[in-house]
Amino acid sequence: MHGDETVGREILLHLIDFLVTSYGRDPVITRLLNNTRIHIMPTMNPDGFEATKVPDCYYTPGRYNGNGEDLNRNFPDAFEDNRANIQPETQAVMDWIKNETFVLSANLHGGALVASYTFDNGNPVTGSLKGYSRSPDDDVFIHLAKTYSSNHASMYKGTGCDSRQTFPEGITNGYSWYQLEGGMQDYNYVWGQCFEITLELSCCKYPPEDQLGKFWRDNKVALIEYIKQVHLGVKGQVTDKNGNPIPNAIVEAKGRPHVCPYRTNQHGEYFLLLLPGTYVINATVPGYKSMLKTVEIPDNTGNFSAVKQDFSFPEVSDKISSKVTSCPKTPLYQELSRASAAVKPTVHLLVLMTVVLAIFK
């Protein structure tokens, strides 16, 4: 995302080469590719990379795109109106996210050594007053971040890049580290239905060429183990009485509502990343009674397939409209915060009225 943070760009080229040359030779990679749709974008900011004429470990103008914009502050923000002038690169990625059913992703950076997870921004609803911005799937995000850090050659040590920067187990909640608006990982999670973490892979943003081989070796296992995590949880299809797929049905795990509800894609498919355990999955087709199914989820990452749980709505015909109002690109958690605040005085008023009635009685 940042043109002068070059390690991730090189590592992804190595990853592409490793996957295609290992297919048919390495049984694990072969099974992974046979069961996983993998998209790799080596760079989101080629202009910034080309603009970095004098490499530097800490900072160059190459961080920004050709218009001088930081692409990791350029996405719509779920918490506040960051008034971003959406750049062509950002719009292209937003369109890509909209048109594909991504489930798990990571964006790569340099300048630190840590796996950071959503939320990067926050408000009192998500716990910002306590210095941590918690998502409904916080346990899954912690697991994802630890999966990467624990399989990295040194990230898990949590020593960071200097004495001021320590990360226990090599992970951090984004907001706990520092607050940012318009980040890609929050956008992906809220609007893309995709669990994304941010990987900071090198203390030096633009290291000497002779160090690139070591960076690949340090990250190779972590990248593969991270990709496997896309097979956590549960997946399935929602269909009508004739077996036709129902797009835009809401499917979520009970107790984990997303501020922008997670919906089935055009093929009626849904994917929910969940840690091993027992969950109630709620499928809802607007205008019809919801269906609840209890699902026992094991750790299926080694089998390269999430648990499958389909839903069939016998009352729904294939004539149901698949149109749905898209989740607005407004600060959704801002609305939630206002609604939460509006409830509190009502509760106090009810308590007061109860006390008054008790006195008069």
The confidence score (pLDDT) of residue 348 equals 43
What residues contact 45, with CB distance under 8 A and at least 6 apart? 1, 2, 3, 64, 65, 71, 89
What is the arrangement of strands in the sheet containing 104-109, beginning at the earlier edge strand?
A: 104-109, 195-202, 112-117, 171-173
The confidence score (pLDDT) of residue 340 equals 67
Catalytic residue among 89, 181, 200, 252: 200
Collapse the DSSP code of 83 into the 3-class scheme (helix H, G, I; strand E, B; otherwise coil) and give the result. coil
Quote the CA–CA distance of 278 and 171 in Å, as a whole number. 26
Exposed, middle or buried by CB within 10 Å (0-12, 13-18, 19+), for 326? exposed
Asked whether the beta carbons of 39 and 147 are under 8 A apart, the reply is no
Output the six-digit token pair for 225. Answer: 């183990």
Angle separating helix axes 27-35 and 7-22, nearest 10 degrees: 100
130 to 122, 152, 182, 341: CA distances (angstroms)? 11, 30, 21, 17
Could you identify the residue written with the tokens 């980040």? Answer: 183
Helix (H) or strand (E) holding 313: strand 311-313
The confidence score (pLDDT) of residue 196 equals 98
Give start and end residues of each alpha helix (H) in the chain.
7-22, 27-35, 46-51, 88-99, 138-151, 174-177, 184-191, 212-228, 332-360
For residue 315, indicate whether it is catalytic.
no
What residues contact 237, with CB distance under 8 A and at least 6 apart? 245, 264, 267, 268, 269, 270, 310, 311
Residues of the chain with pLDDT under 50: 345-361
The confidence score (pLDDT) of residue 356 equals 37
Asked whether the beta carbons of 211 and 271 are under 8 A apart, the reply is no
pTM: 0.92
